[in-house]
Amino acid sequence: MRFYNRACVLVENQYENLELWYPYWRLRELGLEVDLVGPEDEKVYGSKEGYSCTSDTPVVTALERDYDVIVVPGGMAPDKLRRYPNILQLVKKVHDEGGIVASICHGPWVLISAKILRGRKATCVSAIKDDVVNAGAEYHDVEVVVDRNIVTSRTPKDLAVWSSAIVKLLEARGMK
């Protein structure tokens, strides 16, 4: 498998601050280029805690790039992100090309709408457990679930374990 040294993190209003920035900085620390992709380029999005994040890559540009990993943070942003066909197309593209799809908290809503969770094992915040199960996934109430190239987690308290699982997958794929 080819390694591109590139990742993207999705952003939309009401994102969970830690679930966006913790993996962003961890992936940067590993030497990956990390794009912040929102529905609009160079737009300032607010977290549910009041912090801001400016998208730096248009979705159409992201669709032309190859990514080793895509991160879908939680908060209420996923409820908005799943309404954008280009965002869903990007998630599905990364998944179908074998890239890592990392999702936490409410993030699996995006995976459901991208139609990549059916028949897979996953975890999430308890509030959307029924959505995950109804989408055809096998739910597990644990810190992190790795099912091939999908890595899911529940809440910010699971960030360290979730991020470690992402790093292990990247290392197994030949991260330089």
Active-site choice (8, 53, 95, 106): 106
d(CA 134, CA 131): 5
Judged against a pLDDT cut of 90, whether residue 106 lies above it is answered with: yes
Q: What is the dihedral of CA 108, 109, 113, 118, to 10 degrees?
A: 50
Query: How does strand 52-54 pair with strand 44-46?
Result: antiparallel
b or e along 12-38 (b: 16 or more beta carbons within 10 Å of the residue's beta carbon)? bbbbbbbbbbbbbebbeebebebbbbb
Cβ count within 10 A of residue 157 = 10
Judged against a pLDDT cut of 90, whether residue 99 lies above it is answered with: yes
b or e along 114-146 (b: 16 or more beta carbons within 10 Å of the residue's beta carbon)? bebbeebbbbbbeebbebbeebebebbeebbbb
pLDDT of amino acid 176: 63
Does the annotation mark 105 as catalytic?
yes
Give the predicted TM-score (pTM) of the model. 0.97
Tell me the CATH number for domain 6-172: 3.40.50.880
Asked if 95 and 125 touch (Cβ cutoff 8 Å), the reply is no
pLDDT in tens, 31-49: 999 999 999 989 999 999 9
φ, ψ at 144 (rounded to 5°): -150, 145
DSSP state of 111: H
Hey, which residues does 122 pair with through a beta bridge?
Answer: 139
pLDDT in tens, 5-31: 999 999 999 999 999 999 999 999 999
Active-site choice (8, 105, 124, 140): 105
Domain ranges for the chain, please list them. Answer: 6-172
